[in-house]
A and B are shown apart, each in its own frame.
Chain A
Amino acid sequence: MENIKSHKRKLVVIGNGMAGARTVEEIVARGGREQFEISVFGEEPYGNYNRILLSSVLNGSQDSSEIFLNPLSWYEQNGIDLHAGARVDVIARPHKAIHCDDGNWYPYDKLIIATGSRPAVPPIAALRRQSGEFRPGIFVFRTLDDCRRIAEFAAKCRRAAVIGGGLLGLEAARGLLTHGVEVHVIHLPGHLMEQQLDQQAAAILKHTIEGMGIRVHLQKLTKAVLGDNEVTGLAFEDGTTLDCDMIVIATGITPNAEIGSRWGLTTERGIVVDDQMRTSDPDIYAVGECAQHRGRVYGLVAPLWEQARVLADHLTGSDAGVAYQGSKLATKLKVMGVELASMGVVAGDGEQDDVVQFMEPRRGIYKKLIIRDGRLAGGILMGDISKAAYLIQAFDRGIKLPDERLSLLFDTGAPNPKVTFDEMPAEVQICNCNGVKKGEITACVAAGRRSVKSVMETTRAGTGCGSCKSLVAELVEWACKGQVDDDPSINYYVPAIPMTKPELVEAIRMRGLKSVSAVLNALADGRDDPGSKPGLASLLRTIWSADYEDERDARFVNDRVHANIQKDGTFSVVPRIYGGVTSPAELRRIADVAEKYNVQMVKITGGQRIDLLGVRKQDLPDVWRDLGMPSGHAYTKAFRTCKTCVGTEFCRYGLGDSTQLGIRIEKRFQGVESPHKMKLAVSGCPRNCAEATVKDLGAVAVENGWQVYVGGAAGSTVRAGDLLATVKTHDDVLTLMGRFMQYYRENARYAERSYGFVERVGIARLRALLVDDCEKTAARLDQEIAAAVAAYRDPWTEGRELYEPTQFAEPAPVRGEAAGVAA
């Protein structure tokens, strides 16, 4: 072993950030461990994390443990010698060795510098203590530790000032908002984000973020920090001041290039490299924010990925002629929840450029394209970036734009995505987080991977921020010519049992398995996989109805206590309000309950009913009793609601009595369990005020009848429902809806909403089965759903007859005086 090792060359990497770690990964992927013994030195005491996601960590939407790209175990598994928490201070080029603050020297044959950059701190008086550290309450925003310190300090603050109104400053401001402090952004230029936005776009953005409660102060030059020990405010050049008790500085970055200049490498703003990322010393390379290529230093990740690939190709010799050509800067960003895409120049250059522009300030939308010689020279999309993918490609590749300019900014009739994929060059980057190109995805498919999941795992496309997932899926489908394999495991009904739903139903019926533990014992070798239990419980109930042996430990907590758990461990209570129609008496009872049980919030829901939020588990039975209303099933996979509009009863356009029909539907199907929730609506005319065409099932009154729609959605997916049939009477609607529900109950996967199910089965097939009754199954389906309806029992009656004594038990005290009893 030792012998073989000593033949390998030593590759040392300084800097374990996004560029350094990525370069190592690319080298490993090219079999580089055969040639090199790899050591990585990183000043931060961690593995490599996704710096981009620090904004999410600060605003609390992601936990710091969730953002690691390469945890410590990754280095171990790949045989890479990681020195975390180790700062390199010397490059002894004549001896080809580096010195680290652990006191040791380490030799190298090839060295990569990937030290990134650090926050640039402007000259402001009284920032630091005599020792040189920042005074307490003053922060920069670059590392995981910064994030933690900011969050900790914000907890005891009233008002924070962020100096710098660029991308980072605004992200910091948003993060601070979530910590409950008043936030002020101080910016020197005349408009926000001047690198990515023009004045008009910036004005719209300013308005939007001020609407979120952030105060913006433009053209303010900060002169000094006020306060003796603690920070009390800021003083500006114009003589004004601002009170604040903490400060975050985000005024740009400075490349960590000193390690280059100090040890004799040609260094300007960054360490100067050639097209192979080589510095002026042929054995030393630089990548990432510390490197300067053709006069440019980059501050976003996409270019770093390209650099890492080039360097890996070059070092491993897997592509001898490889050369980095520089990157065009086009980025999609999300600033304070506002979607933004920016590319190239932000302003037109007088006569020679065409500028196409659209503005809708009230809705926060701004679109601008700068077209030079028929090609895109730059652009800004804000608020609506639906056209960004195409435009970024066009910009990147210098594609000639069509003469018709309107469709560049808006979807005027859907363009065929196939045309785009056919035309799309292989080098176009699909995943901007991981820098995966179209060609890599198509190559991966050609190499035999035919499921979206396996392509994502292999290429890592779509595994960063996730915003390109649907594009990756479309591309895989296109590349497979539609022959996408579903991963077999995707087809398992539950993860623990390798069977599809029909196979599983068959096995359960044959063996007469009536409880979840019986199924797991018989079919999963007794592995009681917690992720499989709720799905099995739901299926068994559909198969066995009343004969099902209910085991409550197989249910998710919501389905044990018939309420929805909240982030603080309390529950929400949504009583049923049939068709959204209530009465003064009912409203009074709801009000009384809300007061009596100190309900934290009473909210009108999007489903036309009332939510009582923040109820303690032990109070649930009393709350239900006092309400005297049945459960609205807002916590479970079952029939939820039927929204209605006022219809013929009051509306001058009404063609059908939507309110009565909605109430009948809800009374009939309330609580019917299904693979996922079912939300319904009935509209009294095609104006469709109840939004029936975007519901799992919907009915719309037309002259002389009702249209029945299925598979609509307006949640995480938006899909217009498909017209199943047009029928005459209320009874017909009830029958057809019931038939569809039963078919869905029997055939959908667990947690598959109707929008996915209808799309998968196809509306033509559904019509043939459920309307034309081509397989003579309609009568059976009608009977089954009638049985399910008959078996309905309001779960809230368990408030009076507890299913098990501890069902709503509050935390029990333990007795300390027993000390010693069992010891």
Chain B
Amino acid sequence: MLTASLSVEKSAVWVLAGSVDQIALGQGRCFVAGKRKIALFRLRNGEIYALDAVCPHREGPLAEGVIGNGTVVCPLHGYRFSLRDGHGVDNHSAVNSYPVATRAGMIYVRLPGTA
């Protein structure tokens, strides 16, 4: 467990997702990095979060979910996930979350490398 996450740390890379206004205020948007789909959410207060875009329940598109109370609600069957850490709220599953940074109106996401 520990070794796995350490090696991920080492090879992690920051990728550029694009400008902040590629995401409508208060909504999410799906981004693709190689085989990985990432949902980025832009809160009304300016915070931005990144989670895996595919719901672990039945592969619902999380980027299309309504957000609020620090969570996103999957549009298919209503599972909720914390925007901060991807933990399921009222369900036992979870999605990965990724660190996000913004510079000069640009969004960067740190993804584990493929190496």
Contact = CB atoms under 8 A, between A and B. Distances in A.
Interface of A: 63, 65, 68, 71, 517, 527-531, 533-534, 551-557, 560, 565, 567-569, 804-807, 809, 811-816, 818-823
A527 B108 CA distance: 28
B26 interface: yes
Contacts of B38: 814
B61 interface: yes
Contacts of A534: 66
22 contacts: A517-B44, A527-B69, A529-B69, A530-B68, A531-B68, A531-B73, A551-B26, A552-B24, A552-B26, A554-B26, A557-B65, A569-B59, A804-B24, A806-B29, A809-B22, A809-B29, A812-B18, A812-B30, A821-B14, A822-B101, A822-B103, A822-B108
B32 A818 contact: no
A809 B22 CA distance: 9
Contact of B22 (A529, A812, A815, A819): A812
Contacts of A816: 13, 15, 33-34
Report, as a range, how many residues of chain B touch the other chain: 35 or more
Given A812-B22, A812-B32, A818-B16, A557 B64 contact: yes
Contacts of A71: 92
A530 B23 contact: no
Contact of B18 (A531, A807, A814): A814
B63 to A, nearest CB: 8
B75 interface: yes
Interface in B40-90: 44, 53, 57-61, 63-69, 71-73, 75-76, 80
B7 interface: no
A567 B92 contact: no
A553 B15 CA distance: 26
A818 B15 contact: yes
Given A806-B23, A812-B22, A822-B14, 8 more contacts: A530-B66, A806-B29, A811-B32, A812-B31, A814-B32, A814-B38, A814-B109, A815-B16
B76 to A, nearest CB: 7
Contacts of A823: 13-14, 110
A517 B25 CA distance: 12
B13 A820 contact: yes
B91 interface: yes
Given A530-B69, A569-B61, A816-B15, A806 B22 contact: yes
Top 3 closest pairs, chain A to chain B, by CB: A553-B26, A818-B16, A530-B68
B22 to A, nearest CB: 6
Q: For A567, A815, A816, which residue has the most chain B Cβ atoms within 10 angstroms? A: A816
Contacts of B103: 822
A25 B22 CA distance: 52
A821 B68 contact: no
A557 B74 CA distance: 10
A806 B42 CA distance: 13
Q: For A528, A531, A814, A819, which residue has the most chain B Cβ atoms within 10 angstroms? A: A814
A814 B44 contact: no
A807 B24 contact: yes
B14 A820 contact: yes
A56 B87 CA distance: 25
B96 interface: no
Nearest to A517: B44
Contact of B27 (A529, A553, A565): A553
Contacts of B109: 814
Nearest to B113: A819
A63 B30 contact: no
Nearest to A68: B92
Contacts of A557: 64-66, 75
Contacts of A65: 91-93
A812 B34 CA distance: 11
A509 B107 CA distance: 39
A569 B61 CA distance: 6
Nearest to A809: B29
B95 interface: no
A821 B22 contact: no
A555 B73 CA distance: 12
A40 to B, nearest CB: 20
A745 B108 CA distance: 45
Nearest to B15: A814
Contacts of B22: 806, 809, 812
A805 B18 CA distance: 14
A569 B62 CA distance: 10
A555 B31 CA distance: 21
B110 to A, nearest CB: 8
Contact of A813 (B21, B31, B68): B31
Contacts of A551: 26
A239 B2 CA distance: 57
Given A528-B68, A533-B68, A567 B91 contact: no
Nearest to B27: A553
Contacts of B32: 811-814
Contacts of A552: 24, 26-27
A178 B109 CA distance: 39
Nearest to B88: A65
B41 to A, nearest CB: 10
Given A517-B44, A806-B22, A820-B13, A565 B31 contact: no
Contacts of A568: 59
A553 B64 contact: no
A548 B67 CA distance: 21
Contacts of A815: 15-16
B14 A569 contact: no
Q: For B23, B68, B75, B80, which residue has the most chain A Cβ atoms within 10 angstroms? A: B68
Q: For A554, A556, A812, which residue has the most chain B Cβ atoms within 10 angstroms? A: A812
Contacts of A560: 27
Contacts of A818: 14-16, 108
A732 B69 CA distance: 48
